[in-house]
Amino acid sequence: MTLGERLIPPEETLDGTLGVEYLERTEDTITGRMPVENRIRQPYGIVHGGAIMSLAESLTSAATALAVADQGMIAMGQEINVSFMRPITQGHVNASAQVKRKGRSAWVWEVEITDDDGRLCSLIRATVAVREARGKMAPMPTGGGEGD
């Protein structure tokens, strides 16, 4: 079984739950967005900070993974730092990420989060670990609950 055969379908992951859309990717950038709906809001009606951080981590991990896959490597979030400056209450949470350093074992990204009016709402620095894809991975869920 290959690594690709082990991946969970996107609609069954956090990205699917949040409604993440991947829009454009180049060698050093990636953009994406997610719709503002109650499922990503906190009780005061603004987008939850955890949802914003998840969007940034998803984009940067995906872009890194796509870039290193042909070298037999995988990528996963290692560290994330965020400064929230303006709340988002409607429309979309828009993310634009640019890689700042492509290291052997980690890539560092800078992510700008904006609202639909182009206003800067958050700045994020994400570090994505790059590791060798090994043959044994945790078994993927097959559905149901305990005892499957």
Q: Which residues are catalytic?
A: 57
HSE toward the beta carbon, residue 68, CA cutoff 13 A:
23
Biggest CA pair distance of the chain? 49
Compute the distance between CA of residue 113 and CA of residue 95 in angstroms, rounded to an integer. 5
128-133-138 Cα angle (round to 5): 95
HSE toward the beta carbon, residue 29, CA cutoff 13 A:
8
Compute the distance between CA of residue 42 and CA of residue 51 in angstroms, rounded to an integer. 10
Tell me which residue of 87, 81, 80 sits closest to 120, measured CA to CA: 87
